[in-house]
Amino acid sequence: GAVVSQHPSWVICKSGTSVKIECRSLDFQATTMFWYRQFPKQSLMLMATSNEGSKATYEQGVEKDKFLINHASLTLSTLTVTSAHPEDSSFYICSALRGPHTGELFFGEGSRLTVL
Amino acid sequence: DAKTTQPPSMDCAEGRAANLPCNHSTISGNEYVYWYRQIHSQGPQYIIHGLKNNETNEMASLIITEDRKSSTLILPHATLRDTAVYYCIVRVGGVQGAQKLVFGQGTRLTINP
């Protein structure tokens, strides 16, 4: 099956620093990728939609200047958490859309961010 | 809001069939039923999807009622590795459907030895 890889799988950083998370589709091209956040014992919440070559679309309540998304190629999207604070600690998950018509969505393994 | 209703938890013995129900009484004619599962601290894994016909793949079977208001995911021979949270989601196809994906609380399935 299709594979989507995230890196790093976990990261610990100090408050105020920025952290970049990569999402790669390994065996297919993804013109659209999605970023989610999941807090403990809660479900996934969509943060933003990332389209290759254009600006990301953010969901209501998600600060675009804090969560920078770049989708520079058909196989890579990055999420940068800028000036991270402890409340940004969460499980960040990306997904990649294989084919605009079928709507098949494949998820990365997730990246656990802990901000001290 | 999620448009599906699932039991919060279920238990199943290893080796037996696990049948996970899902109610989606307000499903529209162009919406598919998708199932994903999430093993602890991992990203969701696609299992199966269907529109109105029953579907089967190497992982599971999906039974959709004739009126499409409910469905059942069947894991024919559950193993301990099938312990996970299972999400039933209704959505249209294509990019719009992927963007509008709404994860409810799902069913926490525990497979017991």
Contact B42 A103 (CB under 8 A): no
What pLDDT, on the 0 to 100 scale, is given for residue B105?
A: 87
The pLDDT of residue B81 is 95
Please list every residue in chain A whose beta carbon sits closer than 8 Å to the beta carbon of residue B105: 43
The string of pLDDT tens digits covering residues A20-34 is 999 999 988 888 899
Q: H/E/C letters for each residue in A63-108?
A: CCCCEEEEEEECCEEEEEECCCCHHHCEEEEEEEEECCCCCEEEEC
- Collapse the DSSP code of B41 into the 3-class scheme (helix H, G, I; strand E, B; otherwise coil) and give the result: coil
Render pLDDT for A90-106 as a digit per residue (tens, 0 to 9).
Answer: 999 999 988 666 667 88
DSSP B77-98: T--GGG-EEEEEEEE-SHHHHH
Residue B55's beta-bridge partner residues?
Answer: B62
Phi-psi region at A81: left, alpha or beta (left = phi > 0; alpha = psi -120 to 50): beta
Nearest partner of A20 among A64, A78, A65, A63, judged by Cα? A78
Q: What mean pLDDT is predicted for residues B8-17?
A: 97
Confidence of residue A41 (pLDDT cuts 50, 70, 90): confident
Shortest alpha-carbon distance between residue A110 and chain B (Å): 5
Considering only the beta carbons, identify the residue of A46, A100, A101 that sits closest to B101: A46
B44/A93 Cβ within 8 A = yes
B99 to A100: CB separation less than 8 angstroms, yes or no: no
A90 CB within 8 Å of a chain B CB = no
* A110–B contact, CB cutoff 8 A: yes
**For the residues of A15-77, what is the DSSP string, one character each?**
TT--EEEEEEESSS--SEEEEEEE-TTS--EEEEEEETTS--EEPTT--TTTEEEEEEETTEE
B:48-67 residues touching chain A, CB 8 A cutoff: none
Nearest chain B alpha carbon to A35: B99
